[in-house]
């Protein structure tokens, strides 16, 4: 059980950053094979 709790803490720690990354990527969608801004961001 302790490892699950540690995992939950790590997820909670990084969740705001993951959400911000997702929002940034989806804020200006790009067509397939034309993901230049996304590739630069990543």
User: For residue range 4-42, what is the model confidence (pLDDT) as tens digits?
Assistant: 899 999 999 999 999 999 999 999 999 999 999 999 999
Query: With contact defined as beta carbons under 8 Å apart, do 25 and 38 qualify?
Result: yes
38: how many CB neighbours lie within 10 A of its CB? 14
Q: What residues have CB less than 8 Å from 25, skipping those under 6 apart?
A: 38, 41
Look at phi and psi of residue 29 and say left if phi exceeds 0, alpha if psi is from -120 to 50, else beta.
beta
With 0.85 as the threshold, say if the pTM is over it. Answer: no
Query: With contact defined as beta carbons under 8 Å apart, do 37 and 30 qualify?
Result: yes
């Amino acid at each position: 059980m302790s490892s699950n709790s540690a995992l939950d803490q790590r997820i909670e720690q990084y969740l705001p950053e993951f959400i911000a990354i997702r929002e940034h990527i989806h804020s200006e969608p790009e067509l397939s094979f034309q993901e230049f801004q996304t590739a630069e961001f990543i």
